[in-house]
Structure 1
């Protein structure tokens, strides 16, 4: 029987994270989004940036087989946004990916829950993310976790400045902009 643990990343995890990303993105080919599957995973430099900021975590599976103990099976990357007028910061979930071999077991939910606890502990008001509107394991999944879509009118308010910047960049992006994307937020401190 395997159990899941969550810990901060180590540089030796980075090749595993890249492999997880590539494998997880293969599912997009079933939706005619082959370009997403072919997009390169986060670079080692990018992964180091999140690691050095202490904003990267992995889920590992602890099994009886010690040869595979402590190897990442999922990961999450976040960065902190200082939103004007918010009164507190928000944490932007840049990426959360789970190895297809371990999908549909609540591991992504556990990683997001871990980041939610971290955010509360650090007086971060909300979790933000952007995602594909029409991909079944994207927007509907995050809605089940308590995220709400931020409409374009609300996005104009100062409290969403960081999220607004992120979604505008994605709407203009040659790859991501090819499919509808939505900004989402989950308030973690009232």
Structure 2
């Protein structure tokens, strides 16, 4: 299987939907029943979609929220989990944010699900206090709550890109 990350192609949509549905089943194993979503709509609303695998076994969607890159979704098919593909996709998101000169990546996620907030914390994300939320992030939060996503404690998180920008500049100079 390819470990390459590339931009989404319309021909990826069918398998991307399958990945999204399969990945959502992992939440049931943690006692969370998520409301049905529409992965095709998620793709349409995204500014950028990155995928990995041929056929697709993982993907991420991003938008801009309050001037930051917002990670709207990161999903890997459970049959391909725990192989580093989520990290590979997250690295692509970081590179994308750096290339756009954005200050940070934000996301909303479940606080206590092991492959959610704890996973992101291990990759440099920190909890984002509500006092730090901009109006767009507040809107995203409200839309998720209205869609029924708030079936367990959720948090917003952020990861600054400035540190990574300095690292990238050092690599170029080396």
- TM-score where L is the length of structure 2: 0.85
**Structure 2 residue 135 is the aligned partner of structure 1 residue 161:** yes
**What number of residue pairs does the alignment pair up?**
163
Distance 1:49 1:40, change over 3 A: closer
Q: Which of 34, 52, 57 in structure 2 is aligned with 1:59?
A: 52
Provide structure 2 residue ranges, at least 5 long, that are not aligned to the other structure.
164-174
Root mean square deviation of aligned Cα: 1.7
TM-score (norm 1): 0.79
Match of 2:107 in 1: 129
Corresponding residue number in structure 1 for 2:152: 179
Tell me how far apart the structure 1 counterparts of residues 10 and 105 of structure 2 sit (CA, whole Å): 25
Match of 1:80 among 54, 64, 76: 64
- In structure 1, distance between residues paired with 2:68 and 2:24: 26
1:152 CA displacement:
2.3
In the alignment, structure 1 residue 47 sits paired with structure 2 residue 43: yes
Q: Is the 8 A contact 1:90 1:128 kept in 2?
A: yes
Question: For 1:117-162, what per-residue CA distance to the aligned partner results, in whole angstroms no more than 9, with x for missing partners?
Answer: 111111111111000111111000000010110112333xxxx332
Which protein has the larger Cα radius of gyration, Structure 1 or Structure 2? 1
TM superposition outliers: structure 1 runs of 4+ over 3 Å: none
Equivalent position of 1:109 in the other structure: 87
